[in-house]
Amino acid sequence: MKIRGIEASRKRYNILPRETLVTQQMSLRKKDFTNTIRLKLFVGTYNVIGKSPTTSLSDWLSCDDESPDMYAIGFQELCLSKEAYVFMDTPKEEEWLRTVLRGIHPNAKYRKVKLIRLVGIMLIVLVQERFAAYIRGVSAETVGTGFLGKMGNKGGVGVRFELHNTSVCIVNCHLAAHIKECERRNQDYHDICTRMSFPPAKTIKDHDLLFWFGDLNYRLTGIEGLAAKTLLDTANYKDLIVFDQLREQQRIKRAFYGYQEGILNFQPPYKYDTGTDNWDSSEKNRAPAWTDRILWKADDVDQLVYRSHPSLRISDHKPVSSLFEIPIAAIDIVKYKKIYEEVMKHLDRLENDYLPQIAVSRTEIDFGTVRFLENKSNFLTISNTGHVPLQYKFINKLREESYSKPWLIVEPHTGFLMPGDYTEIQLEIYVDKRTAGKLSTGQDTQLELLSIDMQWIHIIKDFQLLTCITI
């Protein structure tokens, strides 16, 4: 009896879909085909306590010599009328938008990316026209945290978009008021983080560049108002900042943890007698505070300036602004195509090099004469000649209960081979009364097919050893 005609046929499976592997490899080489451009972003926030614009905003919005590439302008308490809460509409939106467009830098042309408003909380995002074609994926959302945790008198509005290949999220908020409501402010912050979601499923944190600003309403605690004003008379901001609630909440990781903020080396923007530069002289005599803040969370962002604008006296707040230099990743198409081709060729080589490979020591085994009730054995060696560990196992053939006929035993029928290892397989034939009948009548063929399933970690390759046994 001989075993002859040993062959191998393959089925291919991948660890991951090829598209996923390509995406992963391109991501690892992103720096090779991406150029970083530096753009200037102006961020401004102003609580206008329901007032209409009565003067130009240019002292705030175009105070720098050079025109910014982008604007993110936020308002709080834009409208305090009941109609704004009930009908969500107010003429103040158009009034302030027109005043903003008249007040932005005159040395550049801008296009509106998005305007979003929740009652009195409004955010306007503008970009220079030369960058407008590279903006995509624009969406906006609102979260109310006011009365019953839902009303829009407090809460946040957000705009997200992609500029070239950098994702940007901008959030303007108005958090709970009053000096004793620090925990409520923290809760408002967490509610906005949790509930603000952009389609299809992006949260605030899922962006490369994140800017958060507005009337955060954190106050100074542990110091009397008169003592605070005395320090401010001498511009002693450093000694006053130690009483700031927001810095303390960040330190103990209760809110805005991980966000950065510039040095507060300007007069607190709150609270003034409306129309003046005088601190609050009302009966409540509120202590000054840095209620209006601008924070960010991103890598490689430079804050060029952080300031208030005392010349605007529309409100009991002063507007605050910051100018940032931000990194924007732009793909070089020529480099991208070249690296994409390299990645595809690399994956092709990996696929070929890391296929499980086996070698069989002999393609023909002669058993000689096989007699009734007599064991006959022979051996062959299977070697792992590939680069990956594999596990082999003889498997059942289609619609059969065993991997071989009852007169043939293969040992070991399963095993594990590291690259370079080999194992000796024993083939034993034994014909008895149970099996001789089917062989003699032709119900069992004397040609037998053995199938080996070979499995590599996360990759499965099927090899069929076509083993012909002749008696």
pLDDT tens digits for range 164-175? 999 999 999 999
Check residue 464 and give its pLDDT: 35
pLDDT tens digits for range 285-335? 888 999 999 999 999 999 999 999 999 999 999 999 999 999 999 998 899
Tokens of 458: 């996360």
Check residue 442 and give its pLDDT: 65
Say how far apart CA 119 and CA 155 lie, in whole Å: 10
**Angle 163-211-137 (CA atoms, 0-180°, nearest 5)?**
30
Say how far apart CA 428 and CA 447 lie, in whole Å: 15
Contact criterion met (CB below 8 Å) for 89 and 105: no
**Angle 273-276-281 (CA atoms, 0-180°, nearest 5)?**
30
Check residue 450 and give its pLDDT: 63
Check residue 470 and give its pLDDT: 39
Which residues, in sequence order, are CB contacts of 189 under 8 Å at separation 6+?
173, 175, 255, 256
Q: Which residues, given as ranges, of the chain have pLDDT below 70?
A: 1-17, 87, 363, 439, 441-471
Check residue 388 and give its pLDDT: 77
Check residue 451 and give its pLDDT: 61
The number of angstroms, rounded, from the C-alpha of 108 to the middle of its chain's C-alpha atoms is 33
Check residue 382 and give its pLDDT: 85
The number of angstroms, rounded, from the C-alpha of 100 to the middle of its chain's C-alpha atoms is 33
The number of angstroms, rounded, from the C-alpha of 457 to the middle of its chain's C-alpha atoms is 28
- pTM, rounded to two decimals: 0.72
3-class secondary structure per residue, the chain: CEEECCCCCCCCCCCCCHHHHHHHHHHHCHHHCEEEEEEEEEEEEEECCCCCCCCCCHHHHCCCCCCCCEEEEEEECCCCCHHHHHCCCCCHHHHHHHHHHHHCCCCCCEEEEEEEEECCEEEEEEEEHHHHCCEEEEEEEEEECCHHHCCCCCEEEEEEEEECCEEEEEEEEECCCCCCCHHHHHHHHHHHHHHCEECCCEECCCCCEEEEEEECCCCECCCCHHHHHHHHHCCCHHHHHCCEHHHHHHHCCCCCCCCECCCCCCCCCECECCCCCCECCCCCCCCCECCEEEEEECCCCEEEEEEECCCCCCCCECCEEEEEEEEEEEECHHHHHHHHHHHHHHHHHHHHHCCCCEEECCCEEECCCCCCCCCEEEEEEEEECCCCCEEEEEECCCCCCCCCCCCEEEECCEEEECCCCEEEEEEEECCCHHHHHHHHHCCCCCCCCEEEEEEECCEEEEEEECCEEEC
Closest CA relative to residue 155, chosen from 127, 196, 124, 210: 196
Check residue 252 and give its pLDDT: 97
Contact criterion met (CB below 8 Å) for 123 and 72: yes
| Ramachandran region, residue 243 (left: φ > 0; alpha: ψ -120 to 50; beta: rest) | alpha
